A and B are shown apart, each in its own frame.
Chain A
Amino acid sequence: MGLLNFTRDPVPEAVSGDLHNLNQLSAQQFSDLTQVLFSFLTEPKEVERFLAQLSDFATMNKISLGPLKNIVKSILLVPSGALKRNLSSEQVRADFIALGLSEEKASYFAEQWKVNSPTLTRLAVGQTLMINQLVDMEWKFGVTAGSSELEKVGSIFLQLKLVVKKGSQTENVYMELTLPQFYSFLHEMERVKTSLESFT
């Protein structure tokens, strides 16, 4: 088989067989199936929709669902490996051909890959580990009118509530800032923004 781009591990036996079977689909059928696959890859949470669409495809094209699911599993190995390794559409095409898919179908899939890869890359980056991710910030500010020690105060306070994602739970952190601290905080955050922008 030669070296594949999308993986260094040996590919399961069944994959070759599955992809050869795909060659029997017409161009239209292959195009429809590819559409279903990419709509799942770009919205991985829509599992039920994906399964429903696969089932419809099987019925319409008189294919049994069981074997179809196996074929789909085999196909999906390539895009997920390709994403991890930032493969070009050329490399994806080459891998499909090496695995036994016809040139025509491999080229078509590779084209679709090229079109969808910005979305897929963004999704993968979004899944990257973040420590104590800040998910929300709420604030209020007001004037302290008086206290038990001072009848009339008239000073400004600012309260922040930060919602932080710790593992699968969120934690709320409350704090108070004085006005000078607020301006200093704002200034620092603007410096961070400049720094982040210079790296994009």
Chain B
Amino acid sequence: MAAPGPAQLPALQGLLKAPSKDAVRQLCQECFSSPPAGLGPLALRTSAGLALSPAEAEQLVSALHGLTRHVVYRGLTRAEDILSLFPETFHQNLKNLLTKIILENISAWRNEAQASQISLPRLVDMDWRVDIKTSSDSISRMAVPTCLLQLKVQEDVALCGNSPVVSALTVELSKETLDTMLEGLGRIRDQLSAVANK
């Protein structure tokens, strides 16, 4: 995510018309969270709220989105790094306020970015039960334990938007299958410890 250039950031000075610091905070959050497609409607609301022309609101929202996303992308954590993004002539107090707001939110925004990154369907829940099979058509008396495992898997968040699709898969495992699975999982755990200890 390229840094917003010196031509774009002055548009942020429209924020000087904001009624309160909290309003600025709110707008920063909304601009960060909004996908590029959502910036249009956000700009309209901002234009009304801050008494700016639609064009000015659009530039403001776009610049704020770009700025917040850039800081999160680069993982900037020091005030000096953020301050240096603004042009020399930028309003001093507004620059300090924005830097402060960004620093407050940076770790929450980072988590938000990580949670919404693309991935395979994610495991969201698992349940299990153990049954004993006592009889079947091939053998009338037995006592065979078996495990039923239900995995709830959620499709990629980015694709589902606000209505995530969760599908449940129930699998049956015999004792042998479970032992083999545990062997595999144990190997993963050992490798993870090896990596962690390096």
Binding site for B on A (CB under 8 A): 83-86, 121, 124-125, 127-135, 137, 139, 141, 144, 147-153, 155-159, 162, 164, 173-177, 179, 181-183, 185-186, 188-190, 192-193, 195-197, 199-200
A188 CA to B140 CA in the complex, in Å?
32
* Residues on B with beta carbons closer than 8 Å to the beta carbon of A162: 151, 169, 171
Q: Which 5 A-B pairs have the closest CB atoms?
A: A149-B113, A199-B145, A176-B120, A124-B139, A128-B136
A115 CA to B170 CA in the complex, in Å?
38
Grouping DSSP codes into helix (H, G, I), strand (E, B) and loop, the A interface class, with mixed when no group exceeds half, is mixed
Q: Restricting to B158-188, which residues have a CB under 8 Å from any CB of A?
A: 169-175, 177-182, 184-186, 188
Q: A183 — nearest CB in chain B belongs to which residue?
A: B189
Q: How far is the CB of A178 from chain B (nearest CB, A)?
A: 8
Interface contact A177-B113, CB-CB below 8 Å: no
Q: How far is the CB of B186 from chain A (nearest CB, A)?
A: 8
Q: How far is the CB of A162 from chain B (nearest CB, A)?
A: 7
* Residues on B with beta carbons closer than 8 Å to the beta carbon of A85: 140
Known: A175-B123, A189-B181. A130 touches B172 (CB 8 A): yes
A185 CA to B126 CA in the complex, in Å?
8
Given contacts A141-B191, A162-B151, 11 further A-B contacts (CB under 8 A): A130-B174, A133-B171, A134-B181, A152-B75, A173-B153, A175-B121, A176-B121, A176-B122, A182-B192, A186-B182, A186-B185
Binding site for A on B (CB under 8 A): 1, 69, 72-75, 110, 113-114, 116-123, 126, 128, 130, 132-133, 136-149, 151, 153, 169-175, 177-182, 184-186, 188-189, 191-192, 195
Q: How far is the CB of B189 from chain A (nearest CB, A)?
A: 6
* Residues on B with beta carbons closer than 8 Å to the beta carbon of A176: 119-123
Instruction: Give the contacting residue for A186; candidates B132, B136, B189; CB below 8 A.
Output: B189
Grouping DSSP codes into helix (H, G, I), strand (E, B) and loop, the B interface class, with mixed when no group exceeds half, is mixed
Q: How far is the CB of A102 from chain B (nearest CB, A)?
A: 29
Interface contact A150-B145, CB-CB below 8 Å: no
Known: A84-B139, A128-B136, A193-B179. A150 touches B171 (CB 8 A): no
Interface contact A200-B113, CB-CB below 8 Å: no
Instruction: Give the contacting residue for B113; candidates A125, A133, A150, A196; CB below 8 A.
Output: A150
Q: How far is the CB of B3 from chain A (nearest CB, A)?
A: 12
Interface contact A155-B114, CB-CB below 8 Å: yes
Known: A149-B72, A162-B171, A173-B153. A182 touches B188 (CB 8 A): yes
Instruction: Give the contacting residue for B141; candidates A86, A150, A182; CB below 8 A.
Output: A86
Interface contact A134-B173, CB-CB below 8 Å: yes
* Residues on A with beta carbons closer than 8 Å to the beta carbon of B118: 147
Interface contact B136-A129, CB-CB below 8 Å: yes
* Residues on B with beta carbons closer than 8 Å to the beta carbon of A147: 113-114, 117-118
